[in-house]
Amino acid sequence: MRDVRHEMPPLLRLAFPLILGELGWIAMSFVDTVMVGHLPDAAMAMAASALSSVLFNTLAFGVAGILLGLDALISQAFGADDVPAANRWLVHGLVMAVTLSLLLTGLFVATPYALARFPVDPRILAGAIPALRGLNWGVLPLLLYFTLRRYLQAGNHGRPIAIALITANLVNIAMNWLLIYGHHFVLAGHAIDIAAYGVRGSAWSTSLARVYLMLALLIAVWRADHREGYGLKQVPLKIEAEHLWQMFKLGAPAGASILVEIAIFALVTSLIATFGALQLAGHEIALQCASTSFMVPFAISAATSVRVGNAIGRWRTGNGTHAQVIAAGWCGIGAGAAVMLIASLSFVLLPATLARLFTPDAAVIAAAVPLLMIAAGFQFFDGIQINATGALRGAGVTTTPLYTHLCCYWVVGMPMGCWLAYHQHMGARGLWCGLLIALFGASVVLVTVWRRASVALTVAN
């Protein structure tokens, strides 16, 4: 208990700027949905935006998840005061990010051709396909940002991440306003007309915001190096295949775990798309609300991973104990669960009010409310499972969460959701009930795995 009391303050200090940053990250998607939701045909526009964004996020964050291996590698290096090793991992991470971005760009060039054959209302596809192409321009800056962020947060530099994400929202809002609706200006006596690009304009604004994020973190890393004397300028540019392979071995299961989790939401979105624009628009609102609340425990999970990794690095060099490693994991799990209890309460008490933030369309609001009530049921379990995953990732355990998510989402949750949606005629509500079942199972399994790991560490100590 003493170690837990000592661990919670530094965990929250690291997590707080990361929470601001993650909320800043999801705010871009939130703003996109709100602005698209005020176009003339709100249901159709929101449906197109939902389909394009969920397909992009599934592939981009699933593949980019390989870079999550850097959480353990860099944080353990910083914990052991081996800054040169942390620097080498950053350089190799940047090389991996460029390689993965080339792969993703090729996938996104081909995806629209497959999407055109999807059994969805052609009017939805007419908006979704150009939007997906617009998002493709942000792939490289997104992955470079992702790598730079791992380095900064492992070195406990959370503040510049938060500032970058918050200010990126200003860029996104301005670009959305400029590109979605269209405008007429008179500047220095010259008339300037900007066409209304709708959903496609929203995608372009997102890509521009990601370019800004990459540049902001490049500056943040340069300033951290200048202030702390990390010696990044002295890092040899030699790229070692062994380092890349080690990163891939550790990160691939973490990336696959994220892909498995995001892909289930992508499949649910795709299936709901076959029910029509109205149900898909309601699903988009509920998903945005659930994603926004999820960002808080997700940030705590990143902090938990760093704190566990730092504690392991200190323990290996004789400057820490097993108990500190254990305390870091349990503090993260407890904090994530507590936050999501509050989110559940807001979903239960204010579902229509939350939906109305996105659109004034009464039919879309009515479609979103039942899904928000179901989302309230799985918030607590989502907070537990993501922080148990973070604790395990900090300890270098990335395969167990992968197998857990595969089983809970695809073997149990998805079949149950489809049965409820189609056999029991629950539609979108049935598929969301499948998500609830999956998250409940994942939370039980992963917290049990971490508890057993804690016992093993205690015995070893």
Over residues 86-113, the pLDDT tens digits come to: 889 999 999 999 999 998 888 888 877 7
| Long-range Cβ contact pairs of 196-200 (< 8 A, separation 24 or more) | 198/36, 198/39, 198/45, 198/127, 199/36, 199/39, 199/45, 199/48, 199/49, 199/52, 199/127, 199/128, 199/130, 199/131, 200/127, 200/130, 200/131, 200/133, 200/134
Assigned token pair, 355: 């939906």
- Please give the Cα distance from 77 to 179 (Å, whole number): 44
**Arithmetic mean of pLDDT, 365-382:** 92
Residue count (the chain): 461
3-state secondary structure of 360: coil
- Please give the Cα distance from 81 to 23 (Å, whole number): 31
Give the helix/strand (H/E) hosting 190: strand 190-194
Is 186 a residue whose pLDDT tops 70?
Answer: no
Which pLDDT band holds residue 185 (cuts at 50, 70, 90)? Answer: low
- Please give the Cα distance from 48 to 36 (Å, whole number): 10
What pLDDT was estimated at residue 32?
79
Distance, C-alpha 208 to centroid of its chain: 18
- Please give the Cα distance from 69 to 398 (Å, whole number): 8
Q: Do residues 251 and 68 make contact, with C-beta atoms less than 8 angstroms apart?
A: yes
What pLDDT was estimated at residue 114?
75
Would you say the C-alpha torsion 70, 73, 76, 77 has a positive or negative sign? negative
Is 279 a residue whose pLDDT tops 90?
Answer: no
What pLDDT was estimated at residue 349?
92
**Residue that is written with structure tokens 């695809």 in the block:** 410
Which pLDDT band holds residue 452 (cuts at 50, 70, 90)? Answer: confident
Is 1 a residue whose pLDDT tops 60?
Answer: no
**Number of domains composing the chain:** 1
> Any idea what DSSP says for residue 419?
I
* Helical axes 83-115 vs 122-136, angle rounded to 10°: 150
Domain range holding 321? 2-460
Mean pLDDT across the chain: 84
- Segment 245-271, tens digit of pLDDT: 888 887 888 777 777 777 888 788 888
Assigned token pair, 209: 């915001």
- Please give the Cα distance from 62 to 79 (Å, whole number): 28
Q: Which residue has the higher pLDDT, 208 or 176?
A: 208
Is 217 a residue whose pLDDT tops 90?
Answer: yes
Is 408 a residue whose pLDDT tops 90?
Answer: yes
DSSP β-bridge partners for residue 183: 194
- Segment 328-361, tens digit of pLDDT: 888 899 999 999 999 999 999 999 999 998 888 8
Assigned token pair, 436: 């609830």
- Please give the Cα distance from 206 to 382 (Å, whole number): 26
What pLDDT was estimated at residue 41?
75
